Amino acid sequence: MSPWSAATPGMPIDAIDTPSLVLDLDAFDRNGALMSEWLSACDLRLRPHAKSHKTPEIARRQLAAGAVGICCQKVSEAAVFVDAGIGDILITNQVVGPAKLARLAALAGRARIGVLVDHPDQVRPLAHAVTAAGTAIDVYIEVNVGGRCGIGVGEGLVSLARMVGECARLKLAGLQVYHGPAQHMRDAQERAAAIVKAGEAARAAQRLIQEAGLPCPLVTGAGTGTFWHERDSGIWGELQPGSYIFMDRDYADNRRGEADPRFEHALFVLTTVMSRPSPDRAIVDAGLKASSVDSGMPVVWQRPELRYLKASDEHGVIDCSSAPAVALGDRLMLVPGHCDPTVNLYDEMIAVRGGIVESIWPISARGAAL
């Protein structure tokens, strides 16, 4: 990591070293308040996904605002949050391999931990691990609705639920039903239709399990692109959005329906123009290692006349043919294409309010992929 921090508290935003990850606290607070207000109108649990922020300070604020716990995507990521005092974590992933399962089982002795299964071969090793550790764990069966992980709705699902139910230290806690591809379908009606279909699968899966005499108390899932549709279905009891606190370019590109919640961009990559090689081109110091381009290029915030064209490791090429006054040393704010892997590039998040650095938050779970 860098031997120095990009900022110190009290510093004006103009003095922050670049490239750096800047959180607009006012926008972040408004996003949180909008979610709280929205939740207060329905009877749903919020379990925000911490893979988006990897930052204990943000998890603490989400819990203080009413979240029941957080989601993590990896065992080591969850361990960072348990170390930071978070007491209720659902790992929304399958966990395979004896070393990882032993870590997971030990973690379940320090916090309430949930995990997913979608195959019988995952259940016995999980049961062995928690038995060896003398702990217990919540188990959610992942139902395949988005074409990634998950089991189909049928007899295999019931056998899997029965298998979990037969292990004393595994608590059959419900279903994970998350439609990943629906999050970024651009058309609002297409997103809604995908979740209606996912809801039908969830309802059928829940019914099958309950008809077999097994418990299935909770359906959990949903993301920033669709969570109000999961509410509308009446099937989900818990929602897992992560990006709503930040809003990246990719989510903002979704066309929204009139009643959809509208979150603001709160997370930015601050960058400096370091070369001005031709009238139409400015080169900034934020490239691939400062803003993940897996979901497309970042956009330049509040400067629609500038276009971020392409990135190499530590360079970004900006088309400034419509803004010839852009000069060496000018500072720009980028809205990342995809916030989750962008956050994962940084060791610190610089929390700014009214143009002044208020705090610097360690992104403690950055790189925790094990």
Please list every residue from 46 through 105 that binds a copy of itself, using CB under 8 A: 51, 73-74, 76, 79-80, 83, 93-97, 99-100, 103
- With contact defined as beta carbons under 8 Å apart, do 54 and 364 qualify? yes
Q: Is 319 in the site for a copy of itself (CB under 8 A)?
A: no
Residues within window 173-192 making contact with a copy of itself, judged by CB under 8 A = 180
Paired tokens of 254: 């979704």
Q: How many helices (H) does the chain have, and how many strands (E)?
A: 10, 17
Q: Which is nearer to a copy of itself, 235 or 293 (CB)?
A: 293
Residue selected from 149, 172, 198, 300 as contacting a copy of itself according to rule CB under 8 A: 149
Q: Which is nearer to a copy of itself, 27 or 317 (CB)?
A: 317
With vertex at residue 45, the alpha carbon angle to CA 337 and CA 200, rounded to the nearest 5 degrees, is: 80
Q: Which is nearer to a copy of itself, 39 or 160 (CB)?
A: 160
Distance in Å, CB of 101 to a copy of itself, minimum? 11
Distance separating alpha carbons of residues 286 and 270, to the nearest angstrom: 8
**SS3 for 299?**
strand
Distance separating alpha carbons of residues 339 and 51, to the nearest angstrom: 10
Q: Is 10 in the site for a copy of itself (CB under 8 A)?
A: no
**Stated length of the chain:** 370
Residue selected from 111, 252, 274, 323 as contacting a copy of itself according to rule CB under 8 A: 274
Residue selected from 61, 112, 119, 128 as contacting a copy of itself according to rule CB under 8 A: 119
Q: Which is nearer to a copy of itself, 30 or 307 (CB)?
A: 307
Q: Which residues contact 19 (CB under 8 A, 6 or more apart)?
A: 269, 270, 271, 272, 284, 285, 286, 290, 291
Residue selected from 144, 220, 224, 240 as contacting a copy of itself according to rule CB under 8 A: 144
Paired tokens of 266: 């709160």
Paired tokens of 220: 């959990």
Q: Which stretch binds a copy of itself (CB under 8 A): 32-40, 202-210, 244-252, 307-315?
A: 307-315
Residue selected from 121, 213, 258, 325 as contacting a copy of itself according to rule CB under 8 A: 121
Q: Which stretch binds a copy of itself (CB under 8 A): 22-30, 160-168, 169-177, 341-349?
A: 341-349
User: What are the start-end ranges of the E strands in the chain?
Assistant: 20-24, 45-46, 70-72, 88-94, 112-117, 137-142, 170-176, 218-221, 238-239, 267-278, 281-284, 299-300, 307-312, 315-319, 331-335, 348-353, 356-362
Distance in Å, CB of 67 to a copy of itself, minimum? 20
Measured from the Cβ of residue 134, the count of other Cβ atoms closer than 10 Å reads 11
Residue selected from 344, 350, 351, 357 as contacting a copy of itself according to rule CB under 8 A: 344
Distance separating alpha carbons of residues 91 and 77, to the nearest angstrom: 9
Distance in Å, CB of 147 to a copy of itself, minimum? 8
Q: How many residues bind a copy of itself (CB under 8 A)?
A: 74
Residue selected from 58, 285, 298, 318 as contacting a copy of itself according to rule CB under 8 A: 285
Residue selected from 189, 210, 275, 302 as contacting a copy of itself according to rule CB under 8 A: 275
Q: Which is nearer to a copy of itself, 213 or 355 (CB)?
A: 355
Distance separating alpha carbons of residues 27 and 31, to the nearest angstrom: 6
Q: Which residues contact 313 (CB under 8 A, 6 or more apart)?
A: 287, 288, 289
Quick one: DSSP state of residue 165?
Answer: H
Distance in Å, CB of 11 to a copy of itself, minimum? 10
Q: Is 42 in the site for a copy of itself (CB under 8 A)?
A: no
Q: Which is nearer to a copy of itself, 15 or 33 (CB)?
A: 15
Residue selected from 2, 159, 210, 302 as contacting a copy of itself according to rule CB under 8 A: 2
Q: Which residues contact 2 (CB under 8 A, 6 or more apart)?
A: 347
